[in-house]
Chain A
Amino acid sequence: MKIVIIGLGGVGSILCDNLSRYLNYSDIDASVSLIDGDFYESRNGERQTFTRLGDKASVKCTELIHKFPKVSFQDFNEFVNEDNISSLITENSIVFICVDNHVSRKVISDHCQTLNNITVISGGNEYTDGNAQLYKREDGKNVTASLSEYHPEIEYPEDQSPEDMSCEELSHSEPQLLFTNLTVATIMCWMFYAVHKEKDVTKHAEVYFDITSMATLAKTRNSKN
């Protein structure tokens, strides 16, 4: 099983820890690619799980190799873009999108729609609510809607890729809540479990949550294409 985790921030760092633990103690022969071009700094400590400062992908990769020896890990210290996306995401992968911008989601979504067999699990959040989406494509046909089909904000992103941001912009990020990141990561794990166990995912292709009203709601997302 080829697993690609893109983005190792508040959601990605929590997700890869727990997903790797699951993989290590299951009978799955898994290889996990960790992708992030950012650095872990001490100010990220309130939401992110790293044991030392440095390149997020490298630091996390070293941690996980020692903790979960049955799983194969690779690190890529780069942000995804149109130039490197085809080499980072290949056929028959399960892709976890944990990035913090819609530009990157759009790049990944567009690329995955050109593949024949791919599963994409994408999560995102605001301060106390968020969602996760599951895009599955089999034999060149969409089983569920792509990430952007129901979400024009992903199809026409108004934010910036981290590659296009200045150091000052990168260092200034909107406040986020650990619990919200944790919920996104958890729902993404639910989706992975459904895919792994070959459950019918079409009726749960998008899951919303709101931690202030303590609610989750799953939605069907049929593809119109």
Chain B
Amino acid sequence: MTETYETLNDMTVAQLRDIVRARKIVGYARKTKDLTIKAILAAGDGPSMTKPAVSCVTKPGLTHTQKLAETAAAKPPTPVTAAQFKMSSVLTKPSAKVGDKTTTTIQVSCGANSADFPVEGKTVGAVQEFLKEVLNIDRLAEGQVAGASVETSYVLKAGDVLEFIKPAGSKG
């Protein structure tokens, strides 16, 4: 018997829930009638639902790894023509336990503004450009590591403390 939305809609909610339980459709025992019908149709590949773009044929007795190997053999990998990725940096607490630190951070300050940033391996010039708005760094501010002036090409390493010297206030 072909199930349609209409035939299922004629059933009671209790009957629909029996079907859901019998077909082991998880998570629909307490949903609304409409959602339950749609779930039944989807699970039974009913005529009113759109088929998934890629059908997944399961073969009993195969492990997940074997299924993946079979799929890979059937479809040769497409060469990667371009890659897109997004990098994000997460600040870590300097006072956190060693195991909780996810990245090495370096304290960077300018005037009263200071924070720890994952800038190990970056040059002072790159950090100045990157943080100029965050820390309000003047274009001509001199970079100092541990109190000694450094060139903009200096590469920051773990344990460095970088300060961009903010000019002294002139008014009073």
Residue in A10, A12, A124, A174 whose beta carbon sits within 8 Å of that of B168 in the complex: A124
Interface contact B166-A98, CB-CB below 8 Å: no
With known contacts A210-B112, A215-B113, A131–B170 Cβ distance under 8 A: no
Q: Name B's A-contacting residues (CB within 8 A).
A: 109, 111-114, 142, 147, 163, 165-172
Residue in B109, B113, B114, B167 whose beta carbon sits within 8 Å of that of A153 in the complex: B167
Residue in B112, B147, B168, B169 whose beta carbon sits within 8 Å of that of A217 in the complex: B112
Chain B's closest residue to A98 (CB) is B172
Is chain A's interface secondary structure helix, strand, loop, or mixed overall? mixed
Residues of B within 8 Å of A10, CB to CB, are 171-172
Shortest distance between the CB of B95 and any CB in chain A (Å): 17
Q: Does A77 contact B (CB under 8 A)?
A: no
Interface contact A100-B170, CB-CB below 8 Å: yes
Chain B's closest residue to A99 (CB) is B172
A/B pair count, beta carbons within 8 Å: 79
Interface contact B172-A209, CB-CB below 8 Å: no
Shortest distance between the CB of A24 and any CB in chain B (Å): 24
Interface contact A131-B111, CB-CB below 8 Å: yes
Shortest distance between the CB of B116 and any CB in chain A (Å): 13
Interface contact A9-B114, CB-CB below 8 Å: no
Q: Does A213 contact B (CB under 8 A)?
A: yes
With known contacts A129-B111, A208-B111, A209-B112, A219–B167 Cβ distance under 8 A: no
Residues of A within 8 Å of B172, CB to CB, are 7, 9-12, 98-100, 123-125, 181, 184
Which chain A residues (160-217) contact chain B, with CB distance < 8 Å? 173-174, 176, 181, 184, 208-210, 213, 215-217
Residue in B113, B114, B169 whose beta carbon sits within 8 Å of that of A130 in the complex: B169
Closest 5 CB pairs of A and B: A124-B169, A130-B169, A125-B169, A215-B112, A210-B112
Task: Give the distance in Å from the alpha carbon of A101 to the alpha carbon of B171 in the complex.
Answer: 6
Q: Name A's B-contacting residues (CB within 8 A).
A: 7, 9-12, 98-102, 105, 122-126, 129-131, 133, 147, 150-154, 159, 173-174, 176, 181, 184, 208-210, 213, 215-217, 219-222
30 cross-chain CB contacts under 8 A:
A11-B172, A12-B172, A98-B172, A99-B172, A100-B170, A100-B171, A101-B170, A124-B169, A124-B172, A125-B169, A125-B172, A126-B169, A126-B170, A126-B171, A131-B166, A131-B169, A133-B168, A151-B167, A152-B142, A159-B170, A174-B171, A208-B112, A208-B166, A210-B111, A210-B112, A210-B113, A213-B113, A215-B113, A217-B109, A219-B163
Chain A's closest residue to B171 (CB) is A100
Interface contact A124-B170, CB-CB below 8 Å: yes
Interface contact A131-B168, CB-CB below 8 Å: yes
Chain B's closest residue to A157 (CB) is B170
Residues of B within 8 Å of A215, CB to CB, are 112-114
Residues of B within 8 Å of A124, CB to CB, are 168-172
Residues of A within 8 Å of B111, CB to CB, are 129, 131, 208, 210, 217
Shortest distance between the CB of B55 and any CB in chain A (Å): 57
Residues of B within 8 Å of A152, CB to CB, are 142
Task: Give the distance in Å from the alpha carbon of A204 to the alpha carbon of B73 in the complex.
Answer: 68
Chain A's closest residue to B148 (CB) is A224
Shortest distance between the CB of A207 and any CB in chain B (Å): 8
